Chains A and B, each alone.
Chain A
């Protein structure tokens, strides 16, 4: 079953507003990623984080790797209608020194933006 708790489950905001969502786990992860999925498409990688405390931006998106390594945050500034979609966090658990690519995904945050 799922091991990542992502919140909120859904958001309905006005265009221009900022958005924040987060993902938490009871386990330590060594990599956090954020994906976006549009209807009828596969998830697309937005941001990848590799170190505790790391803060990374991709345009209007900013994501942080939590200090405890058990959480991550995604912020979207000045939202626009094309930001609509489902945002997933994903993590790779610490498992020795191997980097297998085996990811665990959160349940997703559905974002709707009102023009």
Chain B
């Protein structure tokens, strides 16, 4: 079975541009999580969905960040406008019966110049 799929793997953009990160969870999983990883702050949960519904977005840094899950097989994380401090690796993870047993994708490395 394919694992969690994320695209793109790398994204370089200029400050002020819109960035959209994509995630396809493992088929059949009903929980999806977006994380951000930086050296300074480690791995932080941004938002998570259960059955396509956002449950907790308290980790979203500010209004420039938004996430959607239009169906069970696709989610997006959008940053608009992007800033250099958004540079990080963004991970998507999914889970099924036990929400805390999460399967991570390979991540998207975002660089905002």
Residues of A within 8 A of B (CB): 1-2, 31, 33, 35, 40-45, 48, 88, 90, 92, 99-108
Known: A99-B100, A102-B48, A103-B100. A42 touches B42 (CB 8 A): no
How far, in Å, is A106 (CB) from chain B's closest CB?
7
A-B contact count (CB 8 A): 62
> Which residue of chain B is the closest to A88 with respect to CB atoms?
B43
The answer to whether A48 and B91 have CB atoms under 8 Å apart is no
Per the CB 8 Å criterion, the residue count for chain B at the interface is 25
B100 touches A101 (CB 8 A): yes
Q: Does chain A have a CB within 8 A of B31?
A: yes
B contact set with A: CB distance below 8 Å: 4, 31, 33, 41-45, 48, 50, 55-56, 91, 93, 95, 98-107
Cβ contact within 8 Å between B100 and A42: no
Whether the pair A100, B56 counts as a contact (CB closer than 8 A) is: yes
Name the contact of B102 in the complex, choosing from A1, A41, A45 (C-beta under 8 A).
A45
Whole-angstrom CA separation of A108 from B43 in the bound complex = 9
